[in-house]
Amino acid sequence: MLIRIVKLTFKPENIASFKQIFEESKPIILQFNGCTLLESYQDINNPNIFFTYSHWATESDLNNYRVSDFFKNVWGDTKKLFSEKPEAWSVERVQKISS
């Protein structure tokens, strides 16, 4: 499993637009082959910063999503809202500890 974490920093006036884009897009993203989880987080100290967190069965599944027309359209709309360049990481879980 591949975990994708993306840090997005928005202009304050664009936060509501991002939330709407994410809300409308998430059911479609979850239908892509290999996507098993999709979440978003907002920084509690800097509300302009968001993280998206997704699980993909394989890197190939993520890459297929990233070259899709859907992604190109959503990303095109989203990147207009940024105040800083986004950052992204693809990681694998090393350990999970739950209480």
Residues 6+ apart with CB under 8 A from 76: none
Q: CB–CB of 8/88 below 8 Å?
A: no
What long-range pairs does 37-40 form, CB within 8 A, spacing at least 24? none
- The 10s digit of each residue's pLDDT in 1-53 is 999 999 999 999 999 999 999 999 999 999 999 999 999 999 999 999 999 99
Q: CB–CB of 55/3 below 8 Å?
A: yes
Two tokens at 99?
């209480």
Q: What is the pLDDT of residue 79?
A: 94
- Residue 82 sits at φ, ψ, to 5 deg, of -70, 150
Domains and CATH numbers, the chain: 1-56 (3.30.70.100)
Looking at residues 74-90, what average pLDDT do you find? Answer: 97
Q: Is the dihedral of CA 11, 74, 24, 44 positive or negative?
A: negative
